[in-house]
Structures are given as structure tokens and as C-alpha cells.
Amino acid sequence: MARNKKRKGRPYRKSSTTIAPRQRVKATTIWALLFAIFAMLIGFFAAGLNYVVLIIAGITGAALGYFIGRSMEAQA
């Protein structure tokens, strides 16, 4: 099929290397905080005011959110 010579190429898309490092840190931080809060809420409803469970749930949720945010940024 013939292609029109006046037709422009694909639009410019930023790669992950052109995104400022500060923006990448913000996204991982936001995901880590959101997952930590949700994990602590789940831990609170599951175990009540058991501080050990809340701390473990918060740390686990923050780590999971960090890795999910980092993998999302790698794809962007």
C-alpha cells in the first residue's frame, strides 16, 4: 500500500531515561505509602491493635508498593 509523503512519522514519546529522577522517586514513594497504609488497615481489621502485626504489615506493604512502583516506571 502506498504511503503519503506528507504524512508525519510517529509522535515523540519520552523514554524512561528522559524522565527526571525526582519524578521517578516520587512515584515509588507514593506507591510505597499507599500500599503501606492499605496493608496496615488490613492488619488492623485482622488482628486489632496488635502493634507487631501493624508494623510488619506496614513494612511489607511499603516494600511491595516500592517494587510495584519501580516496575511500573521501568515500563514507562
Query: Residue 29 belongs to what domain range?
Result: 21-75
Task: Look at residue 70 and tell me whether its pLDDT is greater than 90.
Answer: no
- Which cell numbers hold the place of 36? 503501606
Contact 43, 54 (CB under 8 A): yes
Residue 29 lies in a domain: yes
Residue 8 lies in a domain: no
This prediction's pTM: 0.66
**3-state SS of 4-72?**
CCCCCCCCCCCCCCCCCHHHHHHHHHHHHHHHHHHHHHHHHHHHCCCHHHHHHHHHHHHHHHHHHHHHH
Residue 15 lies in a domain: no
Residue 11 lies in a domain: no
Q: What is the mean pLDDT of residues 5-11?
A: 66
pLDDT, one tens digit per residue, over 13-54 is 655 566 666 665 677 889 999 999 999 999 999 999 999 999
